[in-house]
Structure 1
Amino acid sequence: MVIGMKRFFLSVLFVLIGLAQAQPTLKLEQGWVRRVPGNITAAYLVLYNPSNQPIRILGASTPIATRVEFHQTTHAGHDDHLDISAMKRVETLTVPARGRLEILPGKYHLMLYGLRDKNPRPLQEGQKVPITLRLEGGATLTFTLTAQMR
């Protein structure tokens, strides 16, 4: 009976270890939310994926905004007199296996819309802002960013 119980508990332990290892994990290396007085702002992050598999980010949310979208800044006209930048919406972001995704000004960024619908006051310098990322497979990760004037 004791040997059977030990095997049972060892089996449960191995299953739990396997589940823990299967959960996608991203490491936040840096991140902030741009402090602006308006109704729209942007959030920036650098994420590191220590796993051997790419991790796709399907969506994001925050309690300070009505919606969050992924955008990419594109540049055209690279001569000395003309540099045209535009934003285009992207549906997903991918953090490569054992690599980084830079969600930074001039690259990818998270657009936060409807700030005034959630908060009548503008973001304050140093205010903590939770951002939840929804990953492929159903997992979510929440990071806390700081509002900063940059």
Structure 2
Amino acid sequence: MNARTTRTLAAALSLTAALAISGCSSDGKDSPTGAGSGSGDKPKLSVSGGYMPEPVNEEMAGAFMVIKNDSKTADRLTAVTSTLSDDLQIHETKNQKMQQVQSMDVPANGELKLERGGNHVMFMGLKNTPKVGDKVTVELRFEKSDPVKVELDVKERTYKARTSTPTDGTDH
């Protein structure tokens, strides 16, 4: 193996380890951020449970959230931007393999879950390493809806978000 192959292999292994450490889930908190609340044909989107596990290093980090569409018009997540990185990617996970995709569907009257072990947003080449308690702002861009700004809470690396909503009306 030459030095370039070794570096590429090391980066791939580092990515795999970071993803295994930071895995994916949704949060029980609802902190909706609306988009497309104007004209009749635009989907009505909200985002809840956004978080980022504390990155291991400045090479990469994952972001997770639920994008809910409360309208009869489907949409597509087409891009994510942030001041934390110039290279944000939308990743899908199929058969335990992660791959970058150009967009993801947000179904009409449905939701797109970006969660540990599944579909997610990937930050590549961080400009700094956020710590637990920090907030990271991202802007989600869609095919039809206006952009949505979301604040991600930086959580512990082992954080497991709630996957169900409490039935007693309180956040736990």
TM-score normalised over the length of structure 1: 0.73
Corresponding residue of 1:31? 50
Number of paired residues? 120
Where structure 2 has 5 or more consecutive residues not aligned to the other structure, the ranges are: 1-36, 160-172
Corresponding residue of 2:87? 67
CA 1:95–1:138 in 2, change beyond 3 Å: closer, same or farther?
closer
SS at match of 1:123: coil
Bigger radius of gyration: 1
Cα displacement (A) at 1:141: 1.1
Corresponding residue of 2:68? 48
For 1:103 and 1:46, the matched residues in 2 are separated by 6
Cα displacement (A) at 1:73: 1.6
CA-based RMSD of the aligned residues comes to 1.8
User: In structure 1, what residue type is equivalent to 2:105?
Assistant: T
Cα displacement (A) at 1:23: 4.1
Say whether the 8 Å CA contact 1:70–1:92 is kept in structure 2: yes
Corresponding residue of 1:98? 109
Cα displacement (A) at 1:139: 2.5
- Structure having the higher helix fraction is 1
Corresponding residue of 1:88? 99
- Structure having the higher strand fraction is 1
User: In structure 1, what residue type is equivalent to 2:93?
Assistant: T
Where structure 1 has 5 or more consecutive residues not aligned to the other structure, the ranges are: 1-17, 76-84
Corresponding residue of 2:3? none
Q: Deviations over 1:118-149 (max 9, x none)?
A: 22xx2111211111111114731111111112
Question: Mean Cα displacement is larger for which, 51-60 or 25-34?
Answer: 25-34
User: In structure 1, what residue type is equivalent to 2:118?
Assistant: K
Alignment partner of 2:143 out of 136, 140, 144? 136
Q: Which runs of 4+ in 1 moved over 2 A?
A: 18-25
TM-score normalised over the length of structure 2: 0.64
CA 1:73–1:29 in 2, change beyond 3 Å: closer, same or farther?
same
Identity %: 26
